[in-house]
C-alpha cells in the first residue's frame, strides 16, 4: 500500500508528539536519586488568599525547585505585602510599589528578607548559607537592620555579620545587631584620599575583621559613594550566587 507524502508527514508528526509526551511523563514520575519529584499545584487566581491557602508540597530534588523554608518565608510575608499594596494609591509612587512586588528570576529558592517595603532585600538560595565560618557584609543600613536581623534569624545566626554605615547607629540598632552576632562600624565606604582619609575600602574592612571571603555582600549606599574600583577584588572574594546589590554606585 502506498501513502501520499501528506499522510506520511502526519504519521511522523504524531509519532514525534507521542514520544515527547512519553518522555515528559517519564521525567515527571521518576527521580535519579530515589526522591519524590516536586509537585506544584498551579494557581490561576491572583488573589493572595489563594496563594496562602494553596497546597504546595515537595522535597529537595533536582534543582531544589521549591525549598520548604522558602515557601514558608513567602507565606509569612503575604499579609504585610497585601496591606502595603492596598495602601499605595498613587500610580507614580514606584519607590513604594517596587519593593512590595515579588519579581520572578531564575532562582528556585528566591525570598525577600527584611521589610517588604524599602529596607528589605531579595536573596537567592539563603538556605545554602554555610553552617559555620562565614561572613555577611551589610554596607549601608541607615538604622534599618530588618534585612540583617531577618536573614540571620533565618539561618540560625550561622555567620558573623559586619554592618557598616557612615552615620552613627542608634541604641536600638546596636542592640538588634548584637542579638544576631553582628557588629557595627561607623565608616564611609570607598578608597581613602588625601581629601578624605577616613574612607575605608572593602579590602581594608576585610583585613580589619580577618575575613578571607564574604558569603553575602549587601550594598545599599547612595549618592557619590563608590566601590567600583574594587570590582576585581570583590569578585575574587565573594561566594557565587549570593551577591546582592541594591541601588549602589558600583
Closest CA to 134 of 62, 204, 198, 216: 216
Q: Which residue has the cell 496591606?
A: 83
Give the span between the Cα atoms of 164 and 225, in whole angstroms: 13
Give the span between the Cα atoms of 57 and 128, in whole angstroms: 20
Per-residue pLDDT tens digits of the chain, which is 250 residues long: 454 555 455 545 555 555 444 444 444 444 334 333 333 333 333 333 443 343 434 334 334 456 788 888 888 888 888 888 878 766 666 677 777 776 655 677 889 999 988 888 989 889 989 888 899 999 999 999 999 999 999 999 999 999 999 999 999 999 999 999 999 999 988 878 787 777 888 889 999 999 998 999 998 876 545 555 665 566 566 554 344 444 333 3
Bridge partners (DSSP) of residue 135 are 160
Give the span between the Cα atoms of 22 and 17, in whole angstroms: 9
CATH of 121-245, one of 3.40.50.970, 3.40.50.720, 3.40.50.2000, 3.40.50.150: 3.40.50.720
Give the span between the Cα atoms of 54 and 127, in whole angstroms: 22
Ordered by start, the domain boundaries in the chain are 10-76, 121-245
Amino acid at each position: 500500500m502506498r501513502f501520499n507524502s501528506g499522510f506520511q508527514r502526519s504519521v511522523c508528526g504524531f509519532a514525534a508528539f507521542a514520544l515527547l509526551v512519553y518522555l515528559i511523563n517519564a521525567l515527571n514520575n521518576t527521580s535519579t536519586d530515589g526522591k519524590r519529584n516536586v509537585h506544584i499545584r498551579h494557581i490561576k487566581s491572583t488573589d493572595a488568599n489563594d496563594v496562602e491557602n494553596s497546597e504546595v508540597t515537595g522535597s529537595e530534588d533536582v534543582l531544589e525547585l521549591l525549598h520548604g523554608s522558602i515557601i514558608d518565608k513567602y507565606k509569612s510575608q503575604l499579609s504585610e505585602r497585601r496591606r502595603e499594596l492596598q495602601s499605595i494609591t498613587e500610580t507614580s509612587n514606584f519607590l513604594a510599589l517596587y519593593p512590595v512586588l515579588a519579581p520572578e528570576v531564575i532562582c528556585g529558592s528566591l525570598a525577600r528578607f527584611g521589610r517588604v517595603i524599602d529596607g528589605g532585600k531579595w536573596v537567592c538560595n539563603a538556605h545554602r548559607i554555610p553552617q559555620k565560618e562565614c561572613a555577611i557584609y551589610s554596607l549601608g543600613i541607615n538604622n534599618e537592620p530588618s534585612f540583617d536581623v531577618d536573614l540571620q534569624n533565618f539561618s540560625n545566626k550561622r555567620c558573623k555579620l559586619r554592618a557598616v554605615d557612615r552615620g552613627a547607629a542608634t541604641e536600638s540598632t546596636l542592640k538588634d545587631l548584637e542579638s544576631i552576632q553582628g557588629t557595627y562600624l561607623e565608616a564611609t565606604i570607598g578608597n581613602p584620599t588625601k581629601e578624605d582619609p577616613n574612607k575605608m575600602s572593602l579590602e581594608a574592612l576585610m583585613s580589619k575583621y580577618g575575613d578571607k571571603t564574604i558569603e553575602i555582600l549587601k550594598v545599599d549606599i547612595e549618592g557619590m559613594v563608590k566601590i567600583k574600583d574594587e570590582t576585581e577584588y570583590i569578585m575574587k572574594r565573594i561566594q557565587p550566587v549570593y551577591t546582592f546589590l541594591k541601588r549602589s554606585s558600583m
